[in-house]
Amino acid sequence: MPKGYIIGHITVTNPEAYKEYVARDTPILEGFGGKFIVRGGESEVAEGSLKQRHVVVEFPDYETAKKAFYSPEYQEVARIRIDNAESDMLLVEGT
């Protein structure tokens, strides 16, 4: 079965407040079997334009990634991200 991913492209606008999002989203997504395989770090735009920060969370399958993202627990914490960053969030099925 293909894995599922939550992929975020983020530009943080309030770094201090965003720290709470990082602290609170981690246990929620890991509770759904999520594994952070990219979280910030150095990056370079080779073509086009993207946000400053990139995050990839791998899940056992696509349905679990969707359940994690749309869970009430995560959606509550996502408000912190939404209020303190510009973000594009994707749900993707692997190969």
Mean pLDDT, residues 62-88: 97
pLDDT number for residue 44: 85
**Predicted local distance difference test score (pLDDT) of residue 48:** 85
Q: What is the pLDDT of residue 50?
A: 85
Summarize the confidence of residues 72-81 as an average pLDDT: 97
Task: Decide which of 3.30.70.100, 3.20.170.30, 3.40.50.11720, 3.40.50.2300 is the CATH code for 4-43+50-93.
Answer: 3.30.70.100
Q: How far is CA 62 from each of CA 23, 59, 68, rounded to the nearest angstrom?
A: 24, 7, 10
Q: Taking a C-beta distance cutoff of 8 angstroms, is the pair 18, 85 a contact? A: yes
- Give yes or no for a contact between 3 and 92, defined as CB atoms under 8 angstroms apart: no
Q: What is the pLDDT of residue 2?
A: 96
Cβ proximity of 88 and 48 under 8 Å:
no
CB-based contact 70:4 (threshold 8 Å): no
pLDDT at 31: 98
What does the domain layout of the chain look like in residue ranges? 4-43+50-93
pLDDT tens per residue, range 17-70: 999 999 999 999 999 999 999 998 888 888 888 899 999 999 999 999 999 999
